[in-house]
Amino acid sequence: MVLVVAVVGMPGCGKGELSALVKAAGIPVFSMGNMIRAEVEARNLKGDPHVFGRVAQELRDEFGYGVLASRLAPYIESSLVDSQMVLIEGMRGVDERDIFLEHWPDSFRVIAVVVEADIRFNRISARGRAEDGDRAAFNERDRRELSWGVGELIAGADWSLDNSGDLETFNNLSEQWLKALLPSH
């Protein structure tokens, strides 16, 4: 049986860390955030917190809130030919979840990465991505993503990983989850 797992969580929670660990195990990883970054680049826009958020919202307003999932699903499907599992990093809304469920009704699952806001803000302040900004931009991004349904996704996740500790602790938790899911890894 194939397994399609989407990682959900608020900005700066550690979705990328989990994705890196899964990718290192040889499992295909698709990043929804990279799709927004590519769209910003394709539009020749200068990346800053407001531009990334605006582009993400414009795509959803023009094509529907499931646009990224619809665009990504064929790539996921083709990768399942050679892999028993695929990870989707950064699912943000219930419409995206619903599209993935339409494609993989029996094999789609969700894992949430959770951590409090102050820790997340400190982490994103240190990572230096163009879409990150000051605390006001961080709070606005949280509000926007909550409006898309990310809170509902976190609450309804099949699994949850707490990333309140250090990176080593989170990596150990992530490895335990992956080994329980796929004992051969």
- Calculate what percentage of the chain has a pLDDT beyond 70: 96
pTM assigned to the model: 0.88
pLDDT higher than 90, residue 40: no
pLDDT higher than 80, residue 175: yes
- Edge-to-edge strands, sheet with 159-162: 29-31, 85-89, 3-8, 108-114, 159-162
Domains of the chain: 3-178 (3.40.50.300)
Per-residue pLDDT tens digits for 64-107: 889 989 999 999 999 998 898 999 999 988 999 999 999 999 99
In whole angstroms, give the CA distance from residue 92 to residue 143.
12
Which two tokens mark 154? 């976190």
- The terminus-to-terminus CA distance of the chain in angstroms comes to 16
Per-residue pLDDT tens digits for 143-168: 988 998 999 999 999 999 999 999 99
Q: Is there a contact between 1 and 85 (Cβ–Cβ < 8 Å)?
A: no
Confidence of residue 59 (pLDDT cuts 50, 70, 90): confident
Q: Is there a contact between 95 and 13 (Cβ–Cβ < 8 Å)?
A: no
pLDDT at res. 131:
64
